[in-house]
Chain A
Amino acid sequence: MTPFGSFPERNIEGLARDAGVQCLEAAPCDPRRVDALYVGNFAGPSFTGRNHLAPWIASGLGLEGVPAMRVEAACASSGAAFYQAWAAVAGGVHDCALVIGVEQMSTATTEETGEILAAAGDVEREAVHGATFPALFGLIAQRYLHEHGLDRECLAAVAVKNHANGALNPRAHMRKPITREKALEARMIADPLGLYDCSLISDGAAAILIAAEPWTDNPVRVRGVGMASDRLALDQKPDITTFPAVRKAAEKAYAASGVSPTDVSFAELHDCFTVAELIAAEDLGFFSPGQAAPATLAGETALAGRLPINSSGGLKSKGHPVGATGVAQIAECFWQLRGEAGKRQVADPRIGLTQNLGGSGATAVVGVFSL
C-alpha cells in the first residue's frame, strides 16, 4: 500500500504500480504466477483524463496478457473488485488474482471533486438540488441524531478516536490527533457535520493477492464475503438511519464464514463521514440501533477497547482515495491479523471484518478474515 496523501505530481498508473510491486515483493510472488488483475477505481477518467486503466497498470507490473479489468462501484470500487476476484478464485476461474485499488483526486479542485463524487448519487433527484455527498450524509446524520436523541458529541468521538489511531499509522494522510473541542468547534460543512466529521480527499493505492492455495506460513484466510446493493437516492429509502445493503452483505458474509458479530475482534468500517461509522457498526450487528454512539463515547471502539474500529485511522484520518479504500481496509486487516500493525496493533486479533460502502449506501461489501 502506498502512503495516502496528496501527490499531484504522480500519475495514477505509477501509484497503482507502486502498490502492486510492494504486494508482490512482500508475498513474495513472481508476477508470472498472477493470472488476473482487478483494478478498483471510481473516477480515474474524470480525475486524471485517463481511461482503460487496468491493462495500463498490468503492463507496468509485467502482467501483460492476463485478464485485466477495472471495477467501479463508487467508494466501494475496490471492495467490489475484491469481491469479483474472490469469486473468480473461489470458483476456480483463476488461481492467483492481484487486486489493486487506486484513486488520484488531487488533480481536481475541491469544487470539481464535489461534482465528480456527486455523480455517484442520484443526479436527477439529489445533485440537481445541490446535494453533495457531505450534504447527503448531513441529511442522514440529522435524522440519526434526531431519532436516537443524540447530539454532535458522538460524532466528535468518532473523529477523535480515528485521528488518534491514524496518528500511529505511517501511511495515513493526516497523522494528527485532534481534541473533542477542536472537532466540535470546527467550521460547519453540512450540519450537523463539521470539518472533522468528513473524510479526506486523498491520492493513493493499495493491493492484495488472492490465491486458491496458500504459499506462505501464515496466510490470511478469506472466511466469508458478502456484497449487496440498494437504491441510489436517500429519498427513496424508507429509513435513512440504516444501510440495508450493509445488512444484506453482512448476513451473507457471516453465513459464509460461520462467524457472528460477537466473534469479531476488530473492524475496518467505512467512515466517509463520522455518522457512517456509527450506522455501519449497528448494521453489522455490533450494537443495536442508537447504541453505537454511547459505545463509542465510552471507548468501546477505541484501539484498547473491546472492539477496536478503524485501527488504521479510517477514511477520516488515513485518507479516502475513493477507489483504493476497500483494498486498503483489507490490507489493514491483513497486518492486524499477522501482528504486523506496529504501534496501532490491536490485542488478540482473531477475526477481522471490513465494510466498504458505495454512495450513500447503494453498494456494500463486507469481508470476514482470520489466520
Chain B
Amino acid sequence: MKARVYTHTTVHTAEGSYQLAIVEFPDGERRTVRITGPPVAIGDTLDWPQ
C-alpha cells in the first residue's frame, strides 16, 4: 500500500533528532507516524506494509 506525506517535521532533542510525518492513504485516512528511513518531504510517496 502507498501513503503520501501530507506534512512532516524533524524534532530536535538533547538525545538526538527524529522525523515525524502525517501520511495520507488512498482512502483518505491519515496517520501520524515516525519516519525511520531517509528524511521525507511533502508529497513523497512511501511504501506502507499491509
Q: Which 10 A-B pairs have the closest CB atoms?
A: A138-B9, A143-B7, A235-B30, A190-B9, A129-B34, A139-B7, A135-B11, A235-B32, A190-B11, A142-B7
Whether A134 is near chain B, meaning CB under 8 Å from some CB there, is yes
CB pair A240 B7 closer than 8 Å? yes
Closest Cβ–Cβ distance, residue A235 to chain B (whole Å): 4
CB pair A188 B20 closer than 8 Å? no
Which residues of chain B (1-34) have a CB below 8 Å from chain A? 6-12, 18, 20-22, 30-34
8 cross-chain CB contacts under 8 A: A130-B18, A135-B20, A139-B8, A139-B32, A140-B7, A142-B8, A143-B7, A235-B31
Closest Cβ–Cβ distance, residue B48 to chain A (whole Å): 14
* Bound-complex Cα distance A311 to B37 (A): 44
Whether B46 is near chain A, meaning CB under 8 Å from some CB there, is no
Known: A138-B11, A189-B12. A146 touches B32 (CB 8 A): no
Write the A130-158 contact mask toward B (1 if CB under 8 angstroms, else 0).
11101100111111001000000000000
Known: A130-B18, A130-B20, A146-B42. A139 touches B34 (CB 8 A): no
Closest Cβ–Cβ distance, residue A190 to chain B (whole Å): 5
CB pair A188 B10 closer than 8 Å? yes
CB pair B9 A129 closer than 8 Å? no
Closest Cβ–Cβ distance, residue B4 to chain A (whole Å): 13
CB pair B22 A139 closer than 8 Å? yes
Chain A residues with CB under 8 Å of B42's CB are: 142-143, 146
Known: A139-B20, A143-B6. A126 touches B32 (CB 8 A): yes
Closest Cβ–Cβ distance, residue A139 to chain B (whole Å): 5
Chain B residues with CB under 8 Å of A303's CB are: none
Quick one: closest A residue to B21, CB to CB? A139
Known: A130-B18, A139-B20, A146-B42. A125 touches B9 (CB 8 A): no
Which of B11, B31, B32, B34 lies at the interface centre, i.e. has the most chain A CB atoms within 10 A of its CB?
Answer: B32
Whether A262 is near chain B, meaning CB under 8 Å from some CB there, is no
CB pair A125 B31 closer than 8 Å? yes
CB pair A139 B9 closer than 8 Å? yes
CB pair B32 A134 closer than 8 Å? no
Known: A129-B33, A143-B42, A235-B30. A191 touches B22 (CB 8 A): no
* Bound-complex Cα distance A200 to B40 (A): 29
Closest Cβ–Cβ distance, residue B3 to chain A (whole Å): 12
Closest Cβ–Cβ distance, residue A61 to chain B (whole Å): 41
Which residues of chain A (209-253) have a CB below 8 Å from chain B? 233-236, 240
